[in-house]
Structure 1
Amino acid sequence: MENEPAAATRTEPVRSSAPDSPPTAPTGRKPSPVERLCHATGAALVVSGLLHLIVFAVDGGPWDGPVSWRKPVTFGLSFGLTLIAICWVASYVRLRARTRTVLLAVFAADCVLEVAGITLQAWRGVPSHFNMETPFDTAVSMSLAVGGAVLVVILTALAVASFVRRPEGPTGMALAVRAGFAILVVGLLAGAAMIARGVYLTRTGHQLAGYASTASLKPLHGVSLHAILVLPVLARSLAGTPWSDSTRRTLVRAAVGCYTAAVVGALTWAVVAY
């Protein structure tokens, strides 16, 4: 009797039984053209901030106040890092390719507009925000305010998208992205409140009060903006450790709790110092 052919075997893919394990984003994916543009633009803004730190060291002058080299330094570094972070985090948010491209391109252009306006006014030796002294200064100030509104719209759209569909990525990334965007929205609201109050005071003839009105909200604004970078970076870093999914998830939750406590502290300070 002839031997029967061996039965073909088929290997089924192994699937995680954990109910909250999100799919992992593809590794080794080449950056899209808009992502390369955002990376290059963000790097240029960071370099601009560092160069103005050198200018400050050489030229001197006050670090605080409405006219100082602090503004092109901090805004260049902050906008550059935020642009790179948002571009990277957006790769975990489930969006149509065209929607992601449009949002990132507009965001990059707006970041350049904000830093360019602030840097221009620093070199002119005049305040960048709430400055209505001349028609040109008014145009720059209002363009910064409009640009801030555009930033709020784009980042809020990304935040909403992260909650509508669970973000991809390794263990803890979905929580890190959602918490990062939620805290970022708090920072955006603080920034909008700063702009609204400053513009109102300036328009009603209280320009010096307009400059001083933002002081109490600055810590809340600054702390909240960078949660979208810190928390996802932590989740991504933990993916390279030998720790269990449960441990990684616990660490991300602890980090979210600590960051939330810092935001609550900054908010409390803003209320007390207002």
Structure 2
Amino acid sequence: MVLLPDLARSWTGGRRVERVAYAVGAVLLLAGVVHFGVFLVDGGPWEGPVSWRKPTTFGLSFGLTLITVTWVSARVRMGDRARRTAVGLLTAASVVEVALISAQAWRRVPSHFNSTSGADRAISLTLAAGGAAIVVSAAVLLVAAFRKDAVDAPDMRLAVRAGLVLFVVALAVGAAMIARGTIAVRSGDPGHTTAGVLKLAHAVAMHAILVLPALSWLLAFTRWTPLARLRVVQLALVGHLVLTVVVGVESAVGVNPLEAPAVADVGAGLGLFLLGVAVLLACYGVRRFPRRDI
């Protein structure tokens, strides 16, 4: 199986800033797993502003996102300075976000929308600054990806560009979550409840940067023509867009996906179905039509 050696080359052949990002991402993933273990031992609520859920999910999400975005950026032609800026900012911001959220969990105080003390206000402001750094990182990558000949293969080009666009959409949703929560707190309402309704939309859009390029990478191990591979990625993109729109509308109007109307369920089901078909096609292609030159 040539898939694992190819992934290993991302480390052995990676630039220094990329290897650092991969290592940091692995540590963040481990931090998420450790905090889940703490939750299993310590107990307590899973939801709410003070719980072990936040360091668990933030560690896992930031670790996975950092590794994914770094891996994707390695497939984009850009200058060394731009690459160091984009990957370096994302790495630093990921560490800061997970570290501060974890620290607040251990202190048993909310990490967001918390101005109880000077330290809490400073942490909230630092978390916001970390979010701004991630936006700058994403903007640098997005501009580079849309330059001519930034990515060779048509299917990977579409996957990277669409994934980064949806990544920026996810960041915009995250900013909207912070804004809504801040307004709610000033009105005397719990900020985490108001902001939390957008969590699913944020997550679905965020992980397109993983799903689409990973699918294109898998298709590269088939003997299918570039056009055939592009069609599979397009199918997956349509599915992801449908799912993102449905979940986004549900979140915007405050509808629980488990209690959504039938039309929303059909839309979400269609999106998942198209994504599933694309993944199955890629797996089928690797199995039945593997490349002979690798």
Give the CA deviation at 1:205: 5.1
Contact 1:216 1:273 in 2 (8 A): yes
For 1:48-63, what aligned pairs fall within 5 Å after superposition? Answer: 48-63=31-46
**1:62 partner letter:** P
Give the CA deviation at 1:157: 2.1
The counterpart of 1:182, out of the listed 165, 171, 190, is 165
If each structure's helix is expressed as a fraction of its own residues, which one has the higher value? Answer: 2
**1:224 partner letter:** A
Give the CA deviation at 1:134: 0.8
Contact 2:27 2:63 in 1 (8 A): yes
Answering whether residue 205 of structure 2 is matched by residue 224 of structure 1, we say: yes
Q: Deviations over 1:70-114 (max 9, x none)?
A: 101110010001111111111122210122012211210110000
Moved over 6 A (4+): none
Q: Name the larger-Rg structure.
A: 1
Contact 2:78 2:150 in 1 (8 A): no
1:131 paired residue number? 114
The counterpart of 2:188, out of the listed 190, 193, 206, is 206
Answering whether residue 15 of structure 2 is matched by residue 45 of structure 1, we say: no
Q: Distance in 1 between matches of 2:156 and 2:102?
A: 35
Gaps of 5+ in 1: 1-26
Q: Distance in 2 between matches of 1:128 and 1:257?
A: 36
1:112 paired residue number? 95
**1:214 partner letter:** A
Contact 2:145 2:151 in 1 (8 A): no
For 1:262-273, what aligned pairs fall within 5 Å after superposition? Answer: 262-273=243-254
Q: Distance in 2 between matches of 1:111 and 1:58?
A: 26
Give the CA deviation at 1:40: 0.4
TM-score (norm 1): 0.86
Gaps of 5+ in 2: 1-8, 256-294
Q: Distance in 1 between matches of 2:231 and 2:241?
A: 15
**2:201 partner letter:** L
1:84 paired residue number? 67
Contact 1:71 1:118 in 2 (8 A): yes
Give the CA deviation at 1:246: 2.2
Answering whether residue 36 of structure 2 is matched by residue 74 of structure 1, we say: no
Contact 1:171 1:245 in 2 (8 A): yes
Contact 1:79 1:115 in 2 (8 A): yes
State how many pairs are aligned. 246
- Secondary structure of the residue that 2:38 maps to in structure 1? helix
Give the CA deviation at 1:47: 0.5
Q: Distance in 1 between matches of 2:150 and 2:68?
A: 15
Q: 1:233 to 1:169 in 2, by over 3 A?
A: farther
2:13 paired residue number? 30
**2:164 partner letter:** F
Percent sequence identity is: 46
Q: 1:70 to 1:169 in 2, by over 3 A?
A: farther
- Structure number with the bigger relative contact order (C-alpha 8 A, sep ≥ 6) is 1
Contact 1:42 1:83 in 2 (8 A): yes
TM-score (norm 2): 0.80
Give the CA deviation at 1:170: 3.5
Contact 1:110 1:150 in 2 (8 A): yes
Q: Distance in 2 between matches of 1:127 and 1:211?
A: 9
Contact 2:72 2:160 in 1 (8 A): yes
Q: Distance in 2 between matches of 1:215 and 1:128?
A: 13
1:237 paired residue number? 218
Q: Distance in 2 between matches of 1:50 and 1:263?
A: 27
**2:199 partner letter:** K
Give the CA deviation at 1:222: 0.8
